[in-house]
Structure 1
């Protein structure tokens, strides 16, 4: 079986601390995983970045490469953005690509790479009108946004519910099925 390449992009929300387990689960499903993090998420996981690179076999990225530098990752067959914070979702929908993760997924839409995103935001954030508009905008651009029933359901501020990682991995499996 040929391995599929998954770009797994995480933002600074508590579920990012589970990322090693999620990488292992994705690998067990036949994915070659490349991990990208927002700068804040990379800072949160700073002590474990070398171990995550060893786990994936690829450098963990949180910054753009310089012009002329070679790509260090294989081409993506699918992208999963999870956990996707309020900031990441809104920046992506608006096309604000100053961060590596947002830039790659914004470009991924134009390259027709299958993309799934699962927010991780609390109920107070989602009351801001921009969030619902951003989710709708991403969906209209072809992104599978796992938000609401069957995806991520916002929790009350300060309360942490289990993050449904299995739903996110199931979604990317469905977007880029394994070759037989």
Structure 2
């Protein structure tokens, strides 16, 4: 049985890159997609559901509703936005996506975060972003941020993301 990978996608012009990532990840993982509420504007949710065979979630379920997704063995946050990285590092849990990140970080589950936004525009040099990256790394999150190698938005190829997932402690 394949392990479960949540691909948590944020509202970004890089969000459509998940269409290429999902089939490559499915060679080894049962993939489920979690979207930030704003990410729904950047992707085709019915297509993602068809690709994964699972419902795509972006909102909390009601307490009496059953969980529709299996528990994740690992999470890949791709693309991660400035907003999500900073809220996550601060422990803000005001969306399903951030709630899952807070929970899985506390459980020390394997998480790979890939910030993807334009470099040189001020966000990447903002002190809050640098502080958040340090905090998440100290909490055991693997942050793959190499904009000099993958300019201009740190859009790292799926093969590198999947290879990096293999290196995470389980």
- Structure 2: 5+ residue stretches without partners: none
How many residues are matched? 168
Q: What's the CA shift string for 1:77-117, capped at 9, x where partnerless?
A: 10000100000100100011111111101110122211110
8 Å contact kept, 2:6–2:72: yes
Q: Distance in 1 between matches of 2:123 and 2:72?
A: 31
Q: Secondary structure at the match of 1:33?
A: strand
2:159 aligned residue (151, 162, 166):
166
TM-score with structure 1 setting the length:
0.85
Query: Which runs of 5 or more residues in structure 1 are unaligned?
Result: none
Residue pairs, 1:69-80, within 5 angstroms: 69-80=65-76
Structure 2 residue 55 is the aligned partner of structure 1 residue 59: yes
Q: Quote the RMSD (CA, aligned, Å).
A: 2.0
Matches within 5 A, 1:78-97: 78-97=74-93
Asked whether the equivalents of residues 117 and 146 of structure 1 are also in contact (C-alpha less than 8 Å), the reply is yes
Counterpart of 2:132?
134
1:40 is matched with 38
Return the structure number with greater helix share.
1
Please report the TM-score for the alignment, with normalisation by the length of structure 2: 0.90
**CA distance in structure 2 between the partners assigned to 1:152 and 1:61 by the alignment:** 32
Moved over 6 A (4+): none
1:154 positional shift: 5.7
